Amino acid sequence: MPDFPIDWVRDSFPALHTGDNFVFFDNGAGAQVPRTVLDAVQHHLLTRNVQRGGRYGRSQEVDATIQRARESVAIFLNAREPSEIAFGMNATSFIRIVSLALADTLRDRKGIVVCEMDHEANVATWLALQRHGVQIRWWRMRRDGSLDLADLQPLLSSKTRLVACTMASNALGSIVDVKAVACLAHAAGAEVFLDAVHYAPHGSIDVQELDCDYLVCSGYKIFAPHMGFLWGKRPALEALPTFREDFIPDQIPTKIEVGTFVYENVAGMDAAITYLEDLGNRVSPNGNADSRRARLLSAMDAIRNYEALLSTELLRALSKLKGITLYGIQEPRFASRRVPTVCFNLEGVAPSAVASSLASKGIGVRDGNMYSPRLLERLGIPPESGVVRASLVHYNTLDEIDRFVQELRKIAHE
C-alpha cells in the first residue's frame, strides 16, 4: 500500500491555500471541496442552468447530470440500482419525509427505537410521531460514549416498527456496529434507518452488506456542496406513501424528491465522488483499481488508515493537557472504534471562550451542544454551554494537530 498522498490531497482543496494558514477543524459541520467540485458547479451554472425535463439540449444535459450523479452515489454506497437514490436539500428533510410516510403505515407496529447518541435530526423527527400513537423506546448510551448491543435487544419486540441510529456520533466520533443493529432489528421484524452523515467522509459504506433499510447522508460533509441524499431498499421506498403532485408518477426516486432541488450541487456531489476515485487510484496497490467501486474502496480504506493516525495523535496529545476532560472513547489504542472527532472541556474555561480564542489564532472548532443535547445531558454536561469539538478529515495533518494543542496549552495556562 503506497503512503497516504497528503500533499496531493491538500493541493486538491483550494480553501487550504488562501494565504491565511487557517486550520479547518470544524469539518463535522461541513467539509471543504476539491477543485474538481468547484469546476463542476461552475460549469453547470455556466452551461446548463435550466430546468430539467425540456426537449432542448441544455435541459437534457441536466437530466443526464442527475442520472450520472445517481449512478455515482449508488456506487459510493454499493446500492443495488441508481433508482434507490433520491436527491434533496439535506439529510434532515429526508428523515422527516420518511417519518411522515411511516406514520401512515404503522398499523399494529407502533414501536420506534431512538438513540441518545444521535444528532437531534434523527431523534426529534421520530419523537414527533408520538402524536400518531408511536411508542418511543430509548437505546441509552453508556458512560464511555458507546451504544452496547446488549442494551438494544430488550427494546425490540413484535411491536417494533423501526430502529433509528447513527453510524458514528457527530459529537463523540464513536462508531456504531450498525450491521449487528440491522441483524437484531430484522430478527424482530423491524426496519433500520441509518444516519450516515458523520461517518460517510471517514470510511466506506456498503448498504447491501449492512443490510439496513434506509440511509441518509449530506453531501457537504463528503467534500461536496450543500445537498442531501436518501437511499432505501426498493421495496421499502416503493411502499412509502409520500407526498407528490398529481402529475408526478408514483415511482422511485421521483416520488421522494419533493420539488426542485439544487442541480448544480448534485453535479458537485458527482464530482466529489470522482475526486475520491482519483484518490483511490493513487493509493491502490497496483496504481489503478479495476472498477469505480474498487477505487472508492481503496480511497476510503486509505482515509480510514490515515485518520486512525490523526485520531491516535489527537487523543494522545489532548490527554496530556492540564485540566482537560475528554468525552467518549479516549484511549489511542481504540482509535479504530472512532473517527477523528473529539469533544472536550477545559477546566475553568467556557467552551465558547476556548473556541473564540482558537478562532483568533486561525483555528476553527465548534462549541455548543453539537445538535446532540440528549447526549450531553447523559454525560452530565449542560447543553446550554456544551463542549468544544474538533472534527478532522483526511486533508488535516499532524502539524495542524500540534499547532492546535499548543494553542490549547496557552488557553489552559500551562
CATH of domain 39-272: 3.40.640.10
Residue 132 has a pLDDT of 92
How confident is the model over 128-160, as pLDDT tens digits? 999 999 999 999 998 888 899 999 999 999 999
When mean pLDDT is compared across 53-57, 159-163, 243-247, 306-310, the lowest value belongs to 243-247
Residue 1 has a pLDDT of 45
Instruction: Tell me the mean pLDDT in the region 177-190.
Output: 98
By the 10 Å C-beta count (0-12 exposed, 13-18 middle, 19+ buried), 206 is classed as middle
Residue 207 has a pLDDT of 98
Q: In what helix (H) or strand (E) does residue 157 lie, and over which residues does it extend? A: none
Can you tell me whether residue 146 is helix, strand or coil? coil
Assigned C-alpha cell, 55: 426537449
- Measured CA to CA in angstroms, residue 166 lies from 45, 89, 196, 376 at distances of 34, 19, 6, 16
Q: In what helix (H) or strand (E) does residue 160 lie, and over which residues does it extend? A: strand 160-166
Residues 27/8, Cβ–Cβ less than 8 Å? no
Q: In what helix (H) or strand (E) does residue 153 lie, and over which residues does it extend? A: none
Interaxial angle between packed helices 292-319 and 57-77, expressed in degrees from 0 to 180 and rounded to the nearest 10: 60
Q: In what helix (H) or strand (E) does residue 231 lie, and over which residues does it extend? A: strand 228-232
Residue 34 has a pLDDT of 98
φ, ψ of residue 39 in degrees (nearest 5): -65, -40
Q: Where in the chain are all domains bearing CATH 3.90.1150.10?
A: 6-33+306-411
Q: What's the CA gap between 210 and 186, in Å, rounded?
A: 12
pLDDT bin (cut points 50, 70, 90) of residue 414 is low
Instruction: Tell me the mean pLDDT in the region 251-272.
Output: 95
Please report, rounded to a whole number, the percentage of residues in the chain having pLDDT higher than 90: 90
Interaxial angle between packed helices 263-283 and 35-47, expressed in degrees from 0 to 180 and rounded to the nearest 10: 150
Residue 374 has a pLDDT of 93
Residue 287 has a pLDDT of 65
When mean pLDDT is compared across 84-98, 232-246, 290-304, 393-407, the lowest value belongs to 232-246
How confident is the model over 7-16, as pLDDT tens digits? 999 999 999 9
Query: Looking at the domain covering 6-33+306-411, what would its CATH class be?
Result: alpha beta
For 161-219, the DSSP string reads EEEEEESB-TTT-BBP-HHHHHHHHHHTT-EEEEE-TTTTTTS---HHHHT-SEEEEEG
Assigned C-alpha cell, 154: 430488550
Residue 250 has a pLDDT of 87
Sequence-separated (6 or more) residues with CB below 8 Å from residue 201:
27, 31, 221, 222, 223, 303, 393, 394
Residues 16/205, Cβ–Cβ less than 8 Å? no
Nearest to 175 by CA among 200, 192, 154: 200
Residue 259 has a pLDDT of 87
Assigned C-alpha cell, 23: 486550520
Q: Where in the chain are all domains bearing CATH 3.40.640.10?
A: 39-272
Instruction: Tell me the mean pLDDT in the region 224-251.
Output: 92
How confident is the model over 322-376, as pLDDT tens digits? 999 999 988 888 888 999 999 999 999 999 999 999 999 999 999 999 999 999 9
Q: What's the CA gap between 77 and 85, in Å, rounded?
A: 10
How confident is the model over 75-100, as pLDDT tens digits? 999 999 999 999 999 999 999 999 99
Assigned C-alpha cell, 66: 442527475
Residue 285 has pLDDT above 80, yes or no: no
Kind of pairing between the strands at 366-368 and 135-139 = unpaired
The pTM score is 0.96
Q: What's the CA gap between 101 and 95, in Å, rounded?
A: 10
Nearest to 341 by CA among 388, 384, 297: 388
Instruction: Tell me the mean pLDDT in the region 239-261.
Output: 88
Q: What's the CA gap between 85 and 81, in Å, rounded?
A: 8
Q: What is the DSSP letter of 83?
A: G
By the 10 Å C-beta count (0-12 exposed, 13-18 middle, 19+ buried), 51 is classed as exposed
Residue 290 has a pLDDT of 82
How many CB atoms within 10 Å of residue 161? 24
Kind of pairing between the strands at 111-115 and 160-166 = parallel
Question: How much is the mean pLDDT over the chain?
Answer: 95
Assigned C-alpha cell, 84: 434507490
